[in-house]
Amino acid sequence: MTLGADIPGGGPLYCPCCGLPLDPGRKRFDVSFELPDPVRDLTEEERARRVVGERPLIAVRNMGDFVRVLLTARLTGGYEFVFGCWIGVPADEFEQARKIWNAPEYSQLVLHGRLANEIRPWTGMLGAPLTARPRAEDELPYVEASDDPQLQRVLEEAWPHSEIWQSWSWLFAPPKTENSKAG
């Protein structure tokens, strides 16, 4: 049996690895981090005082500047997880992103930053250096490369989906896309 294949009789398809039901029409799963981990760890009162701006570009007094990006992890069977996460960026790149976010120059944006969310099931990637660029004018930038060996593996390899699904299965509700630049 292959993932995504139709089963005679119209019954549901279950993953032979993990037993989860699979929808042949749904190959992408979006996971959204509302805030960078260090910002999430602040009290609500501290966030109200220190956070300037809103998704997808926030500056945090005495902490740094953050931009929302997409990180794609390819899975076996043609599935993928797309993590809407945050990266910390230098102030000059943050200001450039802010200026051109809704301008034609957005397509030329290149961000060099550090991952600001720990992404399960991988560990140790928080703070990993990376490069992100937009692929389309109406989408957030995508993480494209990293000097961190673990993060680069996440970007390049197809992962056994059972490993990823175990970390995120509680989130699988009706799909919400994470592509929009507004997000």
Q: What is the pLDDT of residue 1?
A: 20
70-99: buried (b, 16+ CB within 10 Å) or exposed (e) per residue? bbebbbbbebbbbbbbbbbbeeebbebbee
For residue 28, name the pLDDT band (cuts at 50, 70, 90): confident
**pLDDT, tens digit (0-9, with 9 covering 90-100), for 55-113:** 999 999 999 999 999 999 999 888 888 999 999 999 999 999 999 999 999 999 999 99
163 or 111, which is more confident: 111
